[in-house]
């Protein structure tokens, strides 16, 4: 007899066997856990529960522990391909984003080979740095000799030499005999952005340049755009996401005014602008930033009277953040740039440049460029990130974050406009002061390791093999004036300490060290010893240990054998009470110039101080101050 296979029910109700839960139940369960940990009082209100688990962005936006339908923003995000373009500039999922690779090697022959390798292996457009610090002017014909200009868009980045580079590009188009309307790209004119980067070096807002190049594009190559609003300068100066967005809106509006006052109609003026934003390893903020940017630019278009079919939304070029890139353990940059690329792709960026993992070290090699372009290929062709229109759409968290980020950016944009526009705000120092305040808060979080840098401030690798690259002349302007915005890199201060420790080791033949007096069995001292070792190694310091002992004589013997001049006790509070004073006294008599303790002093501060323990490391300590102090104690200064 044949037995029919079991058939699934026609309907499988989701979670039908479970009682419905509400926010109040969640509050009570979370509050119970928080009360046990001592983070909230026994009679804490529900709002206290939320507050205890809420973190804040640099724009003051609260990131809640839980989002529900009640947290959805009141404003509808619309449909893909329609105003306000939050869900993307197209009504259909794209086959993928434009994979754009940057080239800045000043040797035209080397760059030509790299360009062809990129185009043959997944890159779809080129970003060429020219002029001072990049490819020499006059080399474009050589560099693009084998490139089909009607297939591969070219974006120029020539700073003060933009007009010369643009004329060279137009001559190349004419000489090739290609249909001018088939050539895509951008001339990269951004005098306001260049003024922000270089200061008062004659790079003031030459809006006439924008007008001249826009007219030339319209008459010579109508599919080439003249202007790139490069907002990464504000990100690199330490600014927040909303500050980057607000400054980009003010800059774009300044260019629109110049173009329309010169006689271009609104549609033509809008069509001359591309926008470039930084994508960071915070994937949700990156997703929200690109969605919010399109909404904000759509609002400006609406106010100007350009909407509907005549406006296709903001064209966005995402570049993985330079500020987040590390020189130490640069392989971790592969993780950072993958997260950034994912965030930008999900956020709807039309073009994405993944910086090679060795970009902070100098000119990237072929392997690094290959991995960079393959990052996009993996996400598009294997993970299929681009097959869905607005993948983050409908997420209460992302929709709320997009809405609040847009509001914060609009407030900063209007403040700039009230100050007379972006050029006036740069000249008066308004922008610099605002970004400096944000950088101060960010730098404090970096110093205290609240913003952790894997491979640098956390989990450093003292045995890493250095990655060496030739210097990149385009890493920054050759010279800057007093009005230039600063350029920060998050790991820089920790890496300076590592460099100083390495230089000391090269001079003396021995790496400077902090001796860890690990009191008691491993189960007792491992947690604090690991914490202390992780912190001290972030400054390039070795951390030899005494082993599992509480005998002052044995610990002193191990200390002398280590060659260290500084010691740190690591164990439990109970063993500190029993042995810390005796061990510290013995270490001082053995020549320890300074003695630290892993943990807070608590009620025994006076007792510890009498034994020579007057410095402490614990969660939340200013790691940079600790490391500078230890460097001084170990004789590494300078």
What is the set of domains in the chain, with CATH numbers? 23-70 (no CATH), 98-425 (3.20.20.240), 496-633 (3.40.50.280)
CB-facing half-sphere around the CA of 165: CA atoms within 13 A = 27
* pLDDT at res. 214: 97
Question: CB-based contacts of 517: which residues, under 8 Å, 6+ apart?
Answer: 545, 546, 555, 559, 567, 568, 569, 570, 583, 587
Closest by CA to 185, choosing from 216, 228, 143, is 228
* pLDDT at res. 590: 95
Measure the CA–CA gap between 257 and 251, rounded to whole angstroms. Answer: 10
Give tens-digit pLDDT for 187-215. 999 999 999 998 865 544 589 999 999 99
Using pLDDT thresholds of 50, 70 and 90, give the confidence band for residue 1. Answer: low
* pLDDT at res. 200: 64
Contact (CB, 8 A) for 131 and 163: no
* pLDDT at res. 440: 98
Residue 25 has pLDDT above 60, yes or no: yes
Give tens-digit pLDDT for 215-231. 999 999 999 999 999 99
Give tens-digit pLDDT for 353-404. 999 999 999 999 999 999 999 999 999 999 999 888 899 999 999 999 999 9
Residue 120 has pLDDT above 70, yes or no: yes
Measure the CA–CA gap between 312 and 82, rounded to whole angstroms. Answer: 8
The tokens describing 105, both together, are: 């090697």
Contact (CB, 8 A) for 374 and 122: yes
Give tens-digit pLDDT for 524-558. 999 999 999 999 999 999 999 999 999 999 999 99
* pLDDT at res. 607: 84
Question: CB-based contacts of 216: which residues, under 8 Å, 6+ apart?
Answer: 166, 170, 226
Using pLDDT thresholds of 50, 70 and 90, give the confidence band for residue 579. Answer: very high
Cα angle 411-415-421, degrees, rounded to a multiple of 5:
130
Residue 436 has pLDDT above 90, yes or no: yes
Q: What are phi and psi of 149, to 5 degrees?
A: -65, -20
Mean pLDDT of 413-417: 98
Cα angle 623-624-630, degrees, rounded to a multiple of 5:
90
Measure the CA–CA gap between 277 and 292, rounded to whole angstroms. Answer: 12
Higher-pLDDT residue of 510, 38? 510
Peptide bond into 84 cis (omega under 30): yes
Q: How far is CA 489 from the centre of its chain?
A: 9
Q: What are phi and psi of 40, to 5 degrees?
A: -135, 160
Residue 433 has pLDDT above 60, yes or no: yes
Closest by CA to 630, choosing from 500, 520, 474, 454, is 500
What is the pTM (predicted TM-score) of this model?
0.93
Contact (CB, 8 A) for 306 and 347: no
Measure the CA–CA gap between 516 and 513, rounded to whole angstroms. Answer: 9
Percent of the chain exceeding pLDDT 90 equals 77
Q: How many CB atoms lie within 10 A of CB 568?
A: 30
Give tens-digit pLDDT for 476-533. 655 677 789 999 999 999 999 999 999 999 999 999 999 999 999 999 999 999 999 9
Mean pLDDT of 113-137: 95
Instruction: Render the burial of 31-63: b for 16+ CB within 10 Å, e for the rest.
Output: beebeeeeebeeebeeebbbeeeeeebbbebeb
Q: What is the dihedral of CA 479, 482, 485, 490, to 10 degrees?
A: 70
Closest by CA to 245, choosing from 304, 290, 180, 287, is 290
Contact (CB, 8 A) for 514 and 629: no
SS (H, E, C) 54-88: CEECCCCCEECCCCCHHHCCCCCCCCCCCCCCCCC
Q: How far is CA 228 from the centre of its chain?
A: 20
């Amino acid at each position: 007899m044949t037995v029919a296979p079991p058939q699934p029910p026609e309907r499988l109700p989701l979670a039908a066997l479970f009682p419905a839960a509400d926010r109040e139940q969640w509050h009570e369960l979370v509050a119970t856990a928080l009360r046990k940990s001592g983070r909230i009082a026994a009679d804490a209100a529900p709002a206290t529960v939320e507050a205890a688990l809420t973190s804040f962005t640099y724009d003051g936006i609260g990131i809640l522990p839980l989002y529900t339908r009640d947290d959805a923003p009141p404003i509808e995000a619309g449909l893909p391909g329609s105003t306000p373009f939050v869900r993307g500039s197209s009504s259909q999922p794209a086959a993928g984003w434009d994979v754009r690779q940057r080239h800045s090697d000043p040797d035209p022959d080397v760059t030509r080979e790299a360009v062809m390798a990129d185009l043959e292996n997944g890159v779809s457009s080129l970003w060429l740095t020219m002029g001072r610090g990049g490819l020499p002017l006059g080399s474009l014909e050589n560099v693009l000799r084998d490139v089909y200009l009607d297939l591969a868009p070219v974006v120029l980045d020539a700073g003060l030499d933009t007009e010369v580079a643009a004329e060279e590009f137009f001559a190349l188009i004419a000489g090739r005999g290609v249909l001018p309307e088939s050539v895509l790209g951008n001339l990269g004119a951004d005098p306001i952005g260049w003024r922000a980067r270089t200061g008062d070096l004659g790079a003031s807002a030459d809006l006439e340049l924008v007008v001249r190049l826009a007219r030339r594009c319209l008459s010579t190559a109508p599919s080439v755009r003249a202007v790139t609003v490069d907002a990464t300068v504000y990100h690199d100066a330490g600014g927040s996401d909303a500050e980057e967005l607000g400054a980009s809106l003010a800059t774009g509006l300044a260019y629109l005014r110049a173009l329309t006052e010169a006689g271009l109609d609104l549609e033509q003026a809008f069509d001359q602008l591309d926008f470039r934003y930084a994508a960071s390893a915070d994937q949700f903020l990156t997703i929200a930033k690109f969605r919010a940017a399109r909404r904000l630019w759509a609002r400006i278009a609406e106010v100007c009277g350009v909407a509907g079919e005549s406006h296709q939304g903001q064209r966005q070029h995402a570049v993985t953040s330079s500020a987040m890139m590390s020189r130490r353990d640069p392989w971790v940059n592969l993780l950072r740039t993958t997260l950034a690329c994912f965030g930008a792709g999900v956020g709807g960026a039309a073009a994405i440049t993944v910086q090679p993992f060795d970009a902070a070290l100098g000119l990237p090699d072929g392997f690094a460029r290959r991995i960079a372009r393959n990052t996009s290929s993996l996400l598009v062709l294997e993970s299929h990130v681009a097959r869905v229109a607005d993948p983050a759409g409908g997420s209460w968290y992302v929709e709320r974050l997009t809405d609040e980020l847009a509001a914060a950016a609009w407030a900063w944009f209007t403040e700039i406009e009230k100050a007379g526009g972006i050029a006036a705000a740069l000249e008066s120092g308004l922008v610099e002061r605002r970004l400096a305040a944000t950088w101060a808060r960010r730098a404090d979080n970096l110093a205290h390791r609240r913003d952790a840098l894997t491979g640098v401030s956390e989990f450093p690798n003292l045995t890493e093999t250095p990655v060496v690259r030739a210097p990149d002349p385009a890493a920054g302007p050759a010279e800057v004036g007093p009005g230039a915005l600063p350029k920060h890199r998050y790991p820089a201060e920790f890496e300076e300490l590592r460099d100083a420790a390495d230089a000391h080791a090269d001079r003396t033949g021995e790496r400077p060290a902090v001796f860890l007096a690990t009191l008691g069995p491993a189960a007792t001292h491992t947690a604090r010893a690991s914490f202390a070792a992780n912190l001290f190694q972030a400054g390039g310091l070795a951390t030899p240990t005494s082993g599992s002992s509480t005998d002052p004589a044995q610990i002193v013997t191990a200390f002398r054998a280590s060659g260290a001049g500084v010691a740190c006790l690591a164990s439990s509070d109970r063993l500190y009470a029993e042995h810390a004073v005796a061990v510290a006294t013995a270490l001082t008599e053995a020549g320890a110039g300074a003695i630290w303790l892993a943990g807070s002093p608590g009620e025994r501060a006076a007792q510890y101080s009498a034994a020579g323990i007057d410095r402490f490391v614990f969660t939340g300590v200013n790691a940079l101050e600790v490391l500078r102090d230890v460097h001084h104690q170990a004789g590494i200064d300078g």
